[in-house]
Structure 1
């Protein structure tokens, strides 16, 4: 679903959009007004605090540097070497250092000192033993330059150690500027005497400073200088606790427009943010609607696919919410429905392919393949108990669908194993268990983990076993094993029916053999003829890869192809001499008589044409209907070759049987006239395989 007009064609989409806008935009507008006022006030206060904190931090940094300089001077008292190289390495923040003796003379240790005034010497010599003094003197040569700063401490009982401090380092200016950007610095003593300043102290500023209460250590004031407003933060640094020195005042000045630049930017940006927020809210509302409607649309499409029985396309929802959970539940339901439909289809196919088949081999092959595919197992084994020896099993094993036929084995189970199998009501799942291990070993199945054993029971008697083998542990779905049991029951019924049909077929074949022998017994010269013809005809049909149903029809016809001779007088059948034309005409009636005899038997309807046409010739000169070529059914063409061959190699009242070589040559010579050439070629191949050539 694309974001567009279609998004709002949904009632749910419109409802969510209106609700989202009402719940989001109105509070945003109210909060925006309140936030603007609050932020403006807070920015002013925060900027003032930042400037105050900067003044205090800078003052504390100056104090820290004074302590560091004091430690450096104390270290110099312990060193005898005061060369320029020593000073540069260990006293880099002093321009000069020397010792003033009791007479006021200065002994230079390094650097250059000016001539000290009497007032300076008086202050210096008054320093007590435990204190360190600071003395500031204005630079007479450069009035804009910072005042010189001296640190003084007792060197010994008679001498005073004095060091001239690098003021650029002390005040944190110059190349080591530690001030915040756009910030001016001014340092004054307690008398408002400027020691260093990057801006002039106007009279207005001095009046502001004079009006401030003396108890406030940190002050913030605003004044105007040459038409521009400034904020000045004022912090007093008391040095009496560590230094014999006056109070130092740290003044930091910032342009008001710089201090409030953040507020100015806020006033520009805030309306844009509000506008952007409105657009974001609208976009989020659309995205939220889409996030809600797309899963609904996907689930809707999923239900339509399920309605069409399309279970292979899951609903894909990645919303990470209840919609995704619903989609997952829907997919689980669809998968279960798919499994149930597949099970129904599989069982339906088994019904059609197995229950409709009466061939045991076909039932077994179909069952193995269907269960192999449906249960996705490593191997399927179907073992049938022998009818007369229930402990003996004939096993069929399928491990690869590419194989045309399953592997076959025979094995015996003990009475204990048979009793244990008979007690299994539904199924038995185990790994590395005695019974399962023995069945697997007998059936030739390699078990790595699981084997599902499904007994095949009829009238509470064990008729067989179906096993599903897995290489590793298998997690079965809810009804999967139940379906396996139901399919096993269907296979059991189908095999039971096929056994009954095969028993009936054996009975039928026995009946056919009995009838054939009855026909052949009418004449001593034709004893066993029908059975031999049937055997040869079936071998030719098998070489032709004839369908099973056609072969069954051919077998019936072959056994009974001469049943019409029942209506032929024995005197003609056993006549030792040549038949007269009238007698031969009577003989030629036996195919038609046979067809009439079999006509009432509906099951032999497909065999009757073979019986009726087995004396037709390929060139159309046969009897009774003078059919030719493809008009003669294939069964009759096969039967014609087999019948003539057995007839000429067998003794008759009027001649002795021919040699096989002569008989085969006669068949070959009549290929294309009496016999179908294709059938003759197959006949020759069969005879060659039998070693009769």
Structure 2
């Protein structure tokens, strides 16, 4: 085989190896996973026995990933170290070029550098800067347990290409984490606002103080017991917090009336799910949470409001909440009646299974209450 063919095959092999590592790096946006994939891929591509990635944090080096795993007695001081104590790393990062040490024994190492390589049993080392968008992010360190006279140009080129791939993967992972953190902060801000809205409503409708907090906790608990996925439970929580938000549009003369409501007043009160829909439907973030404010007064037999939904047409979150809402209402004192006992409330809910409530949800709720042993201290809801 002629030299040109050998060179072509070597290039193809290098491209295949780099592509393999690049694809692995692209599969994760978690910084720790990216770093571990990178260091394992680098040692595999170069056929070396040991590797580590240190990240730059101002004037410090912080260990990000290593292969093989560190020994139990690896000094903690070498997991986080001053850059000044590792001049070979500093020179590689500042010059943006790989630095090769063919023999650790013959090299002029600082005590800290010597301690690091001795702990890994290394004989030769290569420091490769990891750069992302013209910013030095850290250094890839690979080594052997036998002396290596020199790295070939092919290996140096592979190292440079790898460091670029690692840099981009690291930058993307960090960007993703920052976006995720911003999204979490935004969700927390939204949720704090929703809690404020629910407290404002309870301040207006004094007879239901504490109701929202209680039914929200129980709705999430029962939803989880019924198998709702975790990513849906956040919507259940938000929907429960806002279940009566439509009452903001109901006049005080009706909402705070101490006596029973007239038929006309009930007609107004029964519009609060529609008011909730009008208020919240234009907020994309709250769209998945609308099921409870809009549908928790629907009934299993189709006699509920505002749309007369029947059976499984009613969203599961709303079916769950309907049971809890009534339980809380019955077991709470109201100006127009005393609280029912837990036993009486559960008996009423059982009697309405298949009429007002989803029988499966009733069964799950009754089992949950019976198993809790908490008695009448379990939550309670309000009229309307």
Alignment TM-score, normalising by the size of structure 2: 0.65
- CA distance, structure 2, for counterparts of residue 677 and residue 472 of structure 1: 69
Indicate the residue corresponding to 1:334 in structure 2: 12
Deviation of residue 367 (structure 1)? 5.0
Seen in structure 2, the aligned counterparts of structure 1 residues 418 and 585 have a Cα distance that, compared at 3 Å, is farther
Residue 166 of structure 2 corresponds to residue 488 of structure 1: no
Distance 1:556 1:624, change over 3 A: same
Secondary structure at 2:288's aligned position in 1?
Answer: coil
Structure 1 371/680 Cα, relative in aligned 2: closer, same or farther at 3 Å? farther
**2:25–2:34: 8 Å Cα contact kept in structure 1?**
no
Q: 2:222 aligns with which of 537, 540, 555?
A: 540
Q: Establish whether residue 633 from structure 1 lines up as the match of residue 315 from structure 2.
A: yes
Work out whether residues 382 and 396 of structure 1, in 8 Å CA contact, stay in contact via their aligned partners in 2: yes
Mapped contact 1:638–1:679 kept (Cα < 8 A): yes
Higher strand share: 1
Q: Give the direction of change, closer, same or farther, for the CA distance of 1:576–1:418 in structure 2 (3 Å limit).
A: farther
Given the alignment of the two structures, is residue 617 of structure 1 paired with residue 328 of structure 2, yes or no? no
Superposed displacement of residue 637, structure 1 = 2.0
Change over 3 Å in CA distance of 1:503–1:573 after alignment to 2? same
Under a length normalisation based on structure 1, what TM-score does the superposition of the two structures give? 0.39
Task: Please give the per-residue CA displacement for 1:623-663, whole angstroms capped at 9, x wherever unaligned.
Answer: 11111222112222232233233333333222233344444
CA contact (8 A) 1:364 1:382 kept: no
CA RMSD of aligned residues (A): 5.2
Alignment match of 1:591 (pick from 261, 273, 282): 273
Q: Give the corresponding residue for 2:357.
A: 675
Give the distance between the partners of 2:341 and 2:143, measured in 1 at CA: 60
Greater C-alpha Rg? 1
Deviations 1:339-389 (CA, angstroms, capped at 9, x unpaired): 333344345444xxx4xxxxxxxx468757866885689999999x9xxxx
Alpha-carbon spacing, 1:493–1:669, altered in 2? closer, same or farther (3 Å): same
Deviations 1:579-629 (A, max 9, x none): 333332222111111111113323323333432111112232221111122
- Match status 1:556 vs 2:234: no
For the pair 1:510 / 2:192, whether they are aligned, the reply is yes
**Cα deviations by residue, 1:379-437 (Å, 9 ceiling, x for unpaired):** 99999x9xxxxx9x9x999999xxxxxxxxxx999996599899777899999x85999
Partner of 1:66: none
> Matches of residues 152-167 of structure 1 in structure 2 within 5 Å?
none
Q: Distance in 1 between matches of 2:336 and 2:77?
A: 57
Distance in 1, Cα, partners of 2:115 & 2:349: 59
Deviations 1:159-205 (A, max 9, x none): xxxxxxxxxxxxxxxxxxxxxxxxxxxxxxxxxxxxxxxxxxxxxxx
Matches within 5 A, 1:34-45: none
Unpaired segments ≥5 residues, structure 1: 1-320, 355-362, 386-390, 401-410, 439-445
Mapped to 2, the partners of 1:396 and 1:675 lie a distance apart of 54
- Quickly say closer, same or farther: Cα 1:344–1:558, change in 2 above 3 A: same
Measured in 1, the distance between the counterparts of 2:370 and 2:121 equals 49
Question: 1:512 & 1:605 partners in 2: Cα distance?
Answer: 14
Residue 288 (structure 2) pairs with residue 606 (structure 1): yes
Q: Judge conservation of contact 1:649–1:658 (CA < 8 Å) in 2.
A: yes
